[in-house]
């Protein structure tokens, strides 16, 4: 009986030690993942602030570039809300004197944010814009969001 019990106990000790070591590695991996997630959120927040500054500036090229960057980030990080950019995008979209390409990019970015506030602004522009191309784009975006 002792001959059978001793190998069994040794096997349990070895398995227990291995499981404990694996648990320590898993915890370390989870901590590393959370640090990466926190870093990513901080980096996205900084990028969001940079985009906001560009939208508030006067350079149309920088504004276009900022909105395109936002659209790219929305595709890469759909879980990040980019909520501070809703109002500046809505302002650009509603501004009849703004660059037409900038306004279209703003409409696309607002649509990709999947927010009720963005849809409301798009709906307003679709009903009241003098730019027929922008109006058509906004109507198409609204149609697409209704089908989802």
Write the pLDDT tens digit of every residue in 36-94. Answer: 678 888 889 999 999 999 999 999 999 999 999 999 999 998 889 999 999 999 999 99
Could you tell me if 99 and 84 are in contact, meaning their C-beta atoms sit under 8 angstroms apart?
A: no
Within 8 A by CB and 6+ apart from 1, the residues are none
Instruction: Output the pLDDT for position 39.
Output: 83
Q: What is the pLDDT of residues 5-50, one digit of tens each?
A: 556 555 555 555 555 555 445 555 555 655 667 888 888 999 999 9
Instruction: Output the pLDDT for position 11.
Output: 56
Whole-number Å distance between alpha carbons of 99 and 139: 19
Whole-number Å distance between alpha carbons of 43 and 29: 21
Whole-number Å distance between alpha carbons of 20 and 1: 28
Angle, CA 115 vertex, CA 112 and CA 117 arms, to 5°: 120
3-class SS of residue 79: coil
What are the structure tokens assigned to 132, written together? Answer: 């027929």
φ, ψ at 38 (rounded to 5°)? -65, -40
């Amino acid at each position: 009986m002792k001959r059978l019990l001793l190998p069994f106990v040794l096997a349990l000790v070895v398995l227990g030690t291995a499981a404990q070591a694996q648990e320590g590695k898993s915890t370390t991996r989870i901590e590393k993942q959370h640090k990466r997630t926190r870093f990513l959120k901080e980096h996205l927040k900084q990028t969001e602030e940079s985009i906001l500054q560009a939208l508030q500036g006067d350079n149309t090229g920088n504004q276009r570039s900022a909105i395109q960057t936002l659209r790219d980030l929305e595709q890469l990080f759909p879980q990040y809300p980019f909520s501070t950019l809703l109002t500046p995008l809505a302002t650009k979209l509603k501004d009849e004197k703004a660059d037409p390409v900038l306004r279209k990019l703003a409409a696309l970015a607002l649509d990709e944010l999947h927010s009720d506030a963005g849809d409301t602004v798009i709906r307003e522009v679709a009903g009241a814009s003098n730019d027929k191309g922008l109006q058509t784009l906004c109507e198409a975006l609204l149609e697409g969001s209704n089908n989802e």
